[in-house]
Amino acid sequence: MDRRDEKVYLHDTDFRSLTYTPSGPSLRLVFEYDPDWAPAELRDRPFVLFRFDGVCEFLCEEETGGSDAADVAGQVALFDWDGEDFFTLETYLLRVSFRAARTVVTTAGPRADR
């Protein structure tokens, strides 16, 4: 397996999807770089995938937004980690907070099984 240390700037991505699986429990977050903002080393792998295992205290709140919501819905306003196990994600329309025992972050190309 090829392992690389890559810098990922979520403010330059759009939030695409959230999948929560209660059995496990696990959470998967997918972000995508806009082609104009993708770092050169990630242009062929524009998807950033977060997998969280041992998820608890999961809270998800969704806003309805206004007429321009579709244009900015995936904008990442905040992705915060407390240095231990608590995470918060805020986008224009969504706020998610949770605890996780394990986190894995990878990048993937557009044809990869996301």
pLDDT tens-place values along the chain, 114 residues long = 455 677 787 888 889 999 999 988 999 999 999 888 888 888 888 999 999 999 999 999 987 766 565 566 678 889 999 999 999 999 888 899 999 999 999 999 886 555
Residue 4, pLDDT score = 64
Number of domains composing the chain: 1
Tell whether 41 is covered by a domain.
Answer: yes
End-to-end CA distance of the chain: 18
Tell whether 22 is covered by a domain.
Answer: yes
Contact between residue 96 and residue 59 where contact means Cβ atoms under 8 Å apart = yes
Tell whether 3 is covered by a domain.
Answer: no
Instruction: Give 75's DSSP letter.
Output: B
- Rounded Cα distance, 46 and 40, in Å: 10
pTM: 0.84
What residues make up the domain containing 62?
A: 10-108
Tell whether 4 is covered by a domain.
Answer: no
Residue 1, pLDDT score = 41
Tell whether 113 is covered by a domain.
Answer: no
Tell whether 2 is covered by a domain.
Answer: no
Q: Are strands 76-81 and 56-62 parallel, antiparallel or unpaired?
A: unpaired
